[in-house]
Amino acid sequence: MQIEYKNIDPKLVVNEIRNGRSLESVQKVFGLKFKSEVQDLYLKGLMEMGEIPQVEFNKPVSPKIQPPENHERTVFHKRDRTNTPVSNPTVIVKTGNFRTIGHSGSITLNKALLIEMLGFGIGDSFEIYREDDKVVLQKSLNPI
C-alpha cells in the first residue's frame, strides 16, 4: 500500500533534512500531519537517489485463522472460600520495599525473594488467590 503525499518530491525532504532541518520543521514546511510521514518521504527520497536499496513496504495480508472444530474453552472455577479455613501464614517475610502492579498489570517477585527468602524452588507451581486484601501464593502439588 503506497501512500501519495500531496505531490511532495521525496528528494526535497532529503535535502531539507541534510541542510539541518528537524523532523518537526520539515513536517510544518510541507504541511504533513505526522512525523512518520516525513520519515516515509525521507526513505523514499533516499531510495530514489540510489543511496539505499529499493524496498517495498507493503503490509502483508494475514490469513484468517479458523478455530478448530473440536475447540473447547478452558473453564476456570472460582475458589469456594466457605470450605477453606483462614489460617495465619507460617512464614512472614518483611522486605524493605513494596511491590506494585506495573503498567502491564504484573507484579514482579525476584529470585532472591522467592528462592532465598521464601524457600521455593525453580519449577514450583502455585495456586494464586485473594483473601481480603492479601494475594496468596499457595504451592500446588499438581502443576496445571
Tell me: do 45 and 85 sit in the same domain: no
State which residues form the domain around 118: 81-144
Could you tell me the CATH number of the domain that includes residue 93? 2.10.260.10
pLDDT of residue 19: 93
Tell me: do 135 and 90 sit in the same domain: yes
Tally Cβ neighbours within 10 Å of residue 37: 20
Query: 70 or 24: which carries more pLDDT confidence?
Result: 24
Q: How far apart are CA 105 and CA 21, in angstroms?
A: 40
For residue 64, tell me if it sits in a domain: no
For residue 69, tell me if it sits in a domain: no
pLDDT of residue 1: 43
Residue 138: strand, helix, or coil: strand
Tell me: do 52 and 1 sit in the same domain: yes
Q: Which of 136, 140, 114 is nearest to 126 (CA)?
A: 140
For residue 96, tell me if it sits in a domain: yes
Dihedral of CA atoms 64, 70, 74, 77 in degrees, nearest 10, equals: 140
For residue 7, tell me if it sits in a domain: yes
pLDDT, tens digit (0-9, with 9 covering 90-100), for 66-111? 666 666 666 666 666 565 555 666 666 666 667 777 788 887 777 7
Query: 33 or 102: which carries more pLDDT confidence?
Result: 33
Tell me: do 131 and 87 sit in the same domain: yes
Range of lowest pLDDT (21-30, 63-72, 128-137):
63-72
Give the chain's domain count. 2
For residue 87, tell me if it sits in a domain: yes
Tell me: do 95 and 55 sit in the same domain: no
pLDDT, tens digit (0-9, with 9 covering 90-100), for 45-63? 999 998 888 877 665 666 6
- pTM (two decimals): 0.39
Q: In the chain, count of helices (H) and strands (E)? A: 4, 2
Query: 40 or 55: which carries more pLDDT confidence?
Result: 40
All three cell numbers of 87, joined, read 489460617
The phi-psi region of residue 99 (left if phi > 0; otherwise alpha if psi is between -120 and 50; otherwise beta) is beta
Tell me: do 24 and 54 sit in the same domain: yes
For residue 125, tell me if it sits in a domain: yes
Tell me: do 6 and 52 sit in the same domain: yes
Q: Which of 71, 87, 70 is nearest to 131 (CA)?
A: 87
pLDDT band for 141, please (50, 70, 90 cuts). Answer: confident
For residue 51, tell me if it sits in a domain: yes
For residue 116, tell me if it sits in a domain: yes
Tell me: do 53 and 8 sit in the same domain: yes
pLDDT more than 90, % of the chain: 19
